[in-house]
Structure 1
């Protein structure tokens, strides 16, 4: 194979994304996710399309195939720019990179752009008209409050996907804020004894959206890092359910007695997720409503297309889920 054919093949392997053929009548908006295969983004796309179809419009799901990566997401946006769309909703991977690349072209063409799930960094907010989704720092604080229900201090391993994801970094910050009781907006470094919490040596761990790697990291954190608590700011370990159950088996008694903790943020809970919690292998979840996020994204894009004013922040539901009847509020105490 000559060099030209090889290069063409490489480009196509990144740029052939699931962009449907042009629809008939009505507006077409694009929901640009981090990965087309991620169940949470599939739920968001479903909510967006359901809301759009009620008005005779359409919401197409666009993004990289396989694991999330900002370069592949940038290529997906560039490919989308070859089509006529009436607005875009983007879950941001690496905001600095996207701003220099495809988002500059989006701005030049005056295409309405909002973010959902994961926002652009503060200094790039001018590139989008609104953010739709949860307060990601609050998701982290909710995760930290669940930890505080069961443990007063110890060793901690935080788990994430990538150091470039704005929303995930905000969740890591929120966990640390809740555990230390420090509400300051500046991101602290690794916990080294603050309020009794110390992050173990190789954490936070990044799994690059690899569910198998995430499960291996869970096992390693308990076995070799001697972590008392693991907090995953996303659902990656849950996606390899059978391996996760096997990885947690050696620690079953300690998890059930809450000598060790395993707490995660996720989308809608599946029966197998609830089963792990009911068995005592997971102590709690923070559940994020992605369908509601998709519906709200469509509503904001429609309003922008109509020339109507929109709020800069459109919050969507976040629900803490604990085993048994909820007996303790995870809300912050009211000011005295």
Structure 2
């Protein structure tokens, strides 16, 4: 009888231990943060925020993985691989919004919570992800346009430079620029091409699409400035033109007198360290910055809530910093 009781107690203890181990295992999460490209300093800041959350949150791993360079197909393949690996959640900055929506739906079908950051899905696909965390991208365009308007109140010739043609976030920024400069609200991104409204006209050959390639972006800018010697404004919806600091400086230096006089206005999205120094050195007139560190940090918190079946807000905006040469020392908000 004692032997049977001992066996029963041992069996019960084993069950409790196994249950405890299972519960512990369920509290350890591996969440993937997928950027558009890993050679982009903007996304490096998101990685840093993600890793900071990992250090602060017990049982959470930030798995930062993405294409080495901006490649839409590679990003989709990475998402598919993450599904196969069975990660506990996926946060992606979509390079190609429709393709990303299909990949995230497959993740949902596999029981994996998903969200977007930095860039979102198209309106008709947003139900696929639980939420979006990042910038209200239309507002980036609005603020870039306002900076140009302050220096060129009567308008002028302009070239717009964007990321990928299928990137929803950059198309929303283009729409914000065009709507603000024209004074007319367009139906959908990327907005209506500027053709004289409020004095603004987009030159032939623009908008430019960089595919987040810095060398390509700088060459595009150089070609346009050389082709249109009387161009009034150049606006870029991302940091790609400026994050290769030396190359940007060499490309823009021949136009320094025009920048100083205001004959040529250059405003660019993002406020990476090299961009802020360029602004202070008079090599741009304004920067509209996002908060990528916060995007990475908050993505881990959100995915943990989703993994634990908690509700989350949608969308979650992280704010903007609008910087000029006059306020460059004080315009940046403190991140997490």
TM-score (norm 2): 0.85
CA distance in 2, matches of 1:201, 1:282: 23
Query: 2:205 is matched with which residue: 186, 202, 205?
Result: 202
Other structure's SS at 1:285 match: strand
Please give the per-residue CA displacement for 1:7-29, whole angstroms capped at 9, x wherever unaligned: xxxxxxxxxxxxxxxx9972111
2:234 counterpart residue number: 230
Are residue 60 (structure 1) and residue 63 (structure 2) matched?
A: yes
Q: Match for residue 173 of structure 1?
A: 175
Match of 2:165 in 1: 163
**Mapped partners of 2:327, 2:36: distance in 1:** 35
Q: Which of 66, 70, 81 in structure 1 is aligned with 2:72?
A: 70
Query: Relative to structure 2, which stretch is displaced further, 239-248 or 288-297?
Result: 239-248
Equivalences for 1:1-336 in 2 at 5 Å?
26-56=28-58, 57-66=60-69, 68-100=70-102, 102-152=103-153, 153-187=155-189, 188-226=191-229, 227-266=231-270, 268-270=271-273, 272-325=274-327
Structure number with larger C-alpha Rg: 2
CA contact 1:201–1:225 (8 Å) conserved in 2: no
Contact 1:36 1:61 in 2 (8 A): no
**Aligned-pair CA distance for 1:230:** 0.5
Matched position secondary structure for 1:156: strand
Higher helix share: 2
* Preserved contact between residue 100 and residue 121 of structure 2 (Cα < 8 Å): no
Is the 2:49–2:293 Cα contact (8 Å) retained in structure 1? yes
Compare 287-296 and 42-51 and name the one that shifted more.
42-51
C-alpha distance in 2 between matches for 1:75 and 1:319: 34
- 1:75-94 deviation digits (Å, cap 9, x = unpaired): 11111122131111110111
Contact kept in structure 1, 2:118 and 2:133, CA below 8 Å: yes
Contact 2:243/2:275 (8 A) holds in 1: no
Q: Distance in 2 between matches of 1:255 and 1:125?
A: 41
Cα separation, 2, equivalents of 1:221 and 1:274? 23
Q: What is the RMSD of the two structures over their aligned residues, measured on CA atoms?
A: 1.9
**Aligned counterpart, 1:3:** none
Question: How many residues end up aligned between the 2 structures?
Answer: 301
CA distance, structure 2, for counterparts of residue 35 and residue 242 of structure 1: 21
* Inter-partner Cα distance in structure 1 for 2:92 and 2:187: 25
Normalised by the length of structure 1, the TM-score is 0.85
